[in-house]
Structure 1
Amino acid sequence: MTTRLSPTDLAPEFSLPVAGGGTISSADLAGKRAIVYFYPAASTPGCTTQACDFRDSLASLQGAGFTVVGISPDPVAKLESFVTSEHLTFPLASDEDKSVATAFGAYGEKKLYGKVVTGIIRSTFVIDAEGRIELAQYNVRATGHVAKLRRDLGIDAA
């Protein structure tokens, strides 16, 4: 069973390559509130819906002081194509070995069409400015998740 994070836990440290070049790390998020979400695969219907919802809500999230980062096991080249095709305006990071997803509890057994499989568990984490988990949501639905997250955080739509 995958270890899951809970509020007040320290968020795992990470450093990952991002679409467009460079890296993003937990150190880059220090002193900021961040929303880090894990998704199974770029350019698939559910993941596209979720990414576009974050893109379309980015102004309200940033206005409330949040930085958004998406993480998947896709190689950087696939993420770059996803960013371009969907006009995404926040960092997408590549976790090809799934070590960061595992550290967050976002990789493990899940049900997919009634079968138990091992893979990325669609999950979202709100990390406070001190690097602690403020909110951990596992097995989230792609559709409507960002709206629910905004409600949970008390953020109005922009």
Structure 2
Amino acid sequence: MNQRNLNEVDWSKIPAPVDDGATAHLVGMTIPPISLRATDDTMVTLSTLPGRIVVFAYPRTGEPGKIALVDDWDMIPGARGCTPQTCAFRDLFADLKAAGASHVFGLSTQDNVYQTEMASRLHLPFPVLSDEKLELARALRLPTMDVAGLTLIKRLTLVVDDGRITHVFYPVFPPDQNASEVLAWLKENPV
């Protein structure tokens, strides 16, 4: 399938993911001291960042006009919507910061070179972290899916306070509403 417009999605035609309990263990966990390459070419260690951090994870962003990873990508529950989710966090970035997020990060298993191009193309005001080696995903036992020989992180969002996970959004659907849901939660649960 050719991905012409990554932002225009009829969510009623996309299967919603179900809560399989794969994140039940995360609230209260301490983020391990793992450094990940960011699209601003820094190494980020989430466990050392003070304050409230929002980390939204997604399987992989597509490229306009390119062939999808697999023909039935849209029919894999939770696969479609990475670009709309990322753009929603971009559009609400200032509001998320005003609501108490000291940092906002995207997170996927895509390599930093691809993520850097995507961050530039989408004009992201926040860095995206590459967990290409699945170090953070494995340490936190994040839910993953295997597609076309790749292990991808299932879509979720973590709220981290001083290195400890305090809230998890999972499953996330529709993805383009996740940033609004996170913003509402931040306003209802100030630091």
The C-alpha deviation readout for 1:102-142, integer Å capped at 9, x for no partner, is 223323358x9xxxx9631111110112x211101222121
RMSD: 2.5
Instruction: Say yes or no: does 1:22 pair with 2:42.
Output: yes
* Structure 2 gap segments, 5+ residues each: 1-20, 64-79
* Cα contact 1:55–1:88 (8 A) shared by 2: yes
8 Å contact kept, 1:42–1:78: no
Is 1:140 aligned to residue 175 of structure 2?
A: no
Q: State the TM-score, normalizing by the size of structure 2.
A: 0.68
Alignment of structure 1 residues 22-101 onto 2, 5 Å = 22-29=42-49, 31-43=50-62, 46-66=81-101, 67-101=103-137
Asked if the contact 1:106/1:138 (under 8 Å) is kept, the reply is: no
Q: Distance in 2 between matches of 1:3 and 1:53?
A: 23
Q: Percent identity?
A: 30
CA displacement at 1:2 relative to structure 2:
5.6
Runs (4+) off by over 6 Å:
none
Q: CA deviation at 1:65?
A: 2.4
Instruction: Work out the CA distance in 2 between the residues paired with 1:57 and 1:121.
Output: 22
Alpha carbons 2:37, 2:129 under 8 Å: kept: yes
Instruction: Note if contact 1:19-1:91 (Cα within 8 Å) is conserved in structure 2.
Output: yes
**Count of matched residue positions in the alignment of Structure 1 and Structure 2:** 148
The Cα of 1:61 is off from its aligned counterpart by 1.0
Match of 2:12 in 1: none
CA contact (8 A) 2:60 2:152 kept: no
How far apart are residue 151 of structure 1 and its match?
1.6
SS of the residue 2:87 aligns to? helix
Indicate how the Cα distance of structure 1 residues 73 and 119 shifts in structure 2: closer, same or farther if over 3 A, else same. closer
For 1:128, the equivalent position in structure 2 comes to 161
Higher strand share: 1
Q: CA deviation at 1:10?
A: 1.6
1:74 and 1:68 mapped to 2: Cα distance? 18
In 2: Cα distance, 1:57 partner to 1:120 partner: 23
Question: Which residues of structure 1 form unaligned runs of 5+?
Answer: none
